[in-house]
Amino acid sequence: MAQAPRPVYLRLRDQIAAAIMDGSYPEGAMLPSVRAFAAAEGTNPLTVAKAYQHFQEAGLVQVQRGVGMLVVPGAAEMLRRSERAAFLRGEWPDIAARIRRLGIDPVQLLSGGETV
């Protein structure tokens, strides 16, 4: 079953969230300006602004007038918790069902071993 493509602002949001969790944008770091990020991604600044708005509403970034958006302390851990919950609720059930259907041994899967 094919999934509908995700809206661009959600893909950008996921990209920024991954960068925060990976430490590319650590606590206290400034996110790129909306215009700079839009230019780098080849997208509309309004689309980037919509993605950034999600982080503001979730309390993951703080806007400082004249400075920009700063990643708040604890943002990476907050993102990990919410992303983990979303994965376990939304994606994992389908993945687990497929693993069972294909007869993949979870122990071998987790150890990185080839199951053929």
Structure confidence at residue 10 (pLDDT): 93
Query: What CATH code is assigned to 8-111?
Result: 1.10.10.10
Instruction: Note the pLDDT tens digit of each residue in 7-57.
Output: 999 999 999 999 999 999 999 999 999 999 999 999 999 999 999 999 999
Distances, alpha carbon 23 to alpha carbons 5, 29, 74, in Å: 27, 10, 12
Partners of residue 68 on adjacent β-strands? 64
Structure confidence at residue 6 (pLDDT): 86
| Element holding 109 (H helix, E strand) | helix 106-111
pTM of the model: 0.81
Instruction: Note the pLDDT tens digit of each residue in 67-96.
Output: 899 999 999 999 999 999 999 999 999 999
Domains of the chain, by residue range, sit at: 8-111
Structure confidence at residue 2 (pLDDT): 54
As a whole number of angstroms, the distance between CA 75 and CA 88 comes to: 20
Terminal Cα distance for the chain, rounded: 24
